[in-house]
Structure 1
Amino acid sequence: MAVKARETLESKQISITTLGILMVVVVGYTLLYNQFANTLEDYRLKTIVGVISLVIMMGGFLISLRYITTVYEMVITHDRLIIDRKIFFWKKTVLEVKLDQIKKIIPIEEAKKVEGQMRNYTLTNMDGKRKYMIQYEEQGKICSAKIQCSGKFHEILKKQVKI
């Protein structure tokens, strides 16, 4: 299985807006919890509210870490497009499509609604990485996947698919 092209899509930077919103939510949640906890007289109830609050904050933190640390590795072989998703050190193949199943590769701006399954393998807007829609046939249905890649990777994919 000869690799024709390989590309890694990782979110190296977090936007200032996202970071600001995250900070406002954390500070607001902490102040709201503090205000609510100070009004409670019962020590057991304060403890229960504190534990529930901690679980909610930890859940939010883990969800935000998942989106910040997501990396997509895309590989084009002689007959397949393979996309792996990595979160920290967990790696999972999320898409494996034969190149002869791919019907269209178009910029996301030109994409229309697809009736089949829609998958998204993009991150935030990044310099030099445009978003494209790949339409492919799977089990008799037209499905689509949004990918984000460089122009060079896009050209190699189009050449391999022969579109």
Structure 2
Amino acid sequence: MAVKARETLESKQISITTLGILMVVVVGYTFLYNQFANTLEDYRLKTIVGVISLVIMMGGFLISLRYITTIYEMVITHDRLIIDRKIFFWKKTVLEVKIEDIKKILPIEEAKKVEGQTRNFTLTNMDGKRKYMVQYETQGKICSAKIQCTGKFIDTLKKLVKI
């Protein structure tokens, strides 16, 4: 299985604006929790509210960490398009499409809704990496995948698909 093209899509570093918004949310949430907890007299109720508050904060932190650290590795072989998602050290193949099943490759602006499932494998806007819609057939339905890659990668894919 010879690799024709390989592309890695990493999220860029968190911006100062986003970091500021996260800090305001954390400080505001902590302040509101503190105000509410000080009004409670029952120790058991305070403990329950504290544990629930901690679970909400940890859940929010883990969800934001997941989106910040997501990396997509896209590989084109002679007969397949394979997309792997990496989060820290977990790696999972999230899409594997045969080249012969791909029907259209369009810029995201020209794409229309399809009858099957639409999956998104893009991150924030990045220089030099445009967003495309790859439409493919699976189980008799036309499905689509939004990908973000360089022009060289998409040209290699179009040559194999013969579009």
TM-score by length of 2: 0.97
- Alpha-carbon offset, residue 13 of structure 1: 1.6
TM-score by length of 1: 0.97
Deviations 1:18-46 (A, max 9, x none): 32322221111111101101111112211
* Bigger mean CA offset, 46-55 vs 16-25: 16-25
SS in 1 for 2:128: coil
Determine the structure 2 residue equivalent to 1:96: 96
- Hey, what's the Cα distance between the residues in 2 that align with 1:89 and 1:12? 18
- Alpha-carbon offset, residue 113 of structure 1: 1.2
Deviations 1:117-143 (A, max 9, x none): 000000011111100000000011000
User: How many pairs does the alignment contain?
Assistant: 163
Instruction: Give the aligned CA root-mean-square deviation in angstroms.
Output: 0.9
Determine the structure 2 residue equivalent to 1:120: 120
- Hey, what's the Cα distance between the residues in 1 that align with 2:14 and 2:114? 30
Q: Percent identity?
A: 91
* 1:24 pairs with 2:19: no
- Hey, what's the Cα distance between the residues in 2 that align with 1:76 and 1:133? 16
Determine the structure 2 residue equivalent to 1:47: 47
The 4+ residue runs of structure 1 with deviation greater than 4 A are none
CA gap of 1:17–1:114, structure 2 versus 1, over 3 A, is farther
- Alpha-carbon offset, residue 114 of structure 1: 1.2
- Hey, what's the Cα distance between the residues in 2 that align with 1:142 and 1:17? 39
